[in-house]
A and B are shown apart, each in its own frame.
Chain A
């Protein structure tokens, strides 16, 4: 299955600033997914990123807050903009590996102070 490198693994940020999270996959994939896991909660899909098109956002998530780039078939970034303490979460990227299921990155643990 694919290997996903996600960075940074963790960060502590000041409110009002932005953080960009990177995901690099070792093989070409059509769709990449960005999830959020808030403390003590399950994973919630933020958006689906296809190469060459705008990301598709789930209800409750907007592009201005979570802009996503997908410049090629192996790489994507998620930016958390104008952060507040409520954005403190683990952010994960994922790819669909077909018959092998979905593979997840190791996550970015974000704390906003």
Chain B
């Protein structure tokens, strides 16, 4: 079964600082990868996703992530964070079978709480 590990439980930054949140997964086959964000009091929203192709994917609000297959990683980055980026961030993996069909379910990492000070 697949698992997802996020490196940091809580990250605290000042506005304009750069952000990198680590995510590693364990699964030997093909995966779809996701980053979700949960703002305080709101529901989960998709930030970005990787299915195939260019391993550097861009999402909403200036976020990007890079899939490094050899490292089983999908780290989230943003060059300059804003106070409004304060939220909890979840990395998630969807495993595909040998035929390329999704098993359906998402496996989530533990989440990283990002606090940005103005």
Contacts and interface: CB of A to CB of B under 8 A. Distances in A.
B109 A42 contact: yes
B105 A106 contact: no
Interface string A73-113: 00000000000000000001010100111111111000000
Chain B interface residue bracket vs A: 20 to 34
B44 A104 contact: yes
A58 to B, nearest CB: 8
A105 B43 contact: yes
B90 A43 contact: yes
A80 B15 CA distance: 42
B90 to A, nearest CB: 6
Chain A interface residue bracket vs B: 20 to 34
A63 interface: no
B106 interface: yes
B105 A45 contact: yes
B110 A42 contact: yes
B83 interface: no
A101 B49 contact: yes
B43 A102 contact: no
Given A42-B90, A101-B49, A102-B34, A94 B106 contact: yes
Contact of A48 (B46, B104, B111): B104
A77 B44 CA distance: 19
B43 A106 contact: yes
B110 A33 contact: no
Interface in B72-118: 90, 92, 94, 102, 104-111
Contacts of A13: none
Q: Quick one: which of B34, B36, B46 has the most chain A CB within 10 A?
A: B46
Interface of A: 31, 33, 41-45, 48, 58, 92, 94, 96, 99-107
Interface of B: 34, 36, 42-44, 46, 49, 51, 90, 92, 94, 102, 104-111
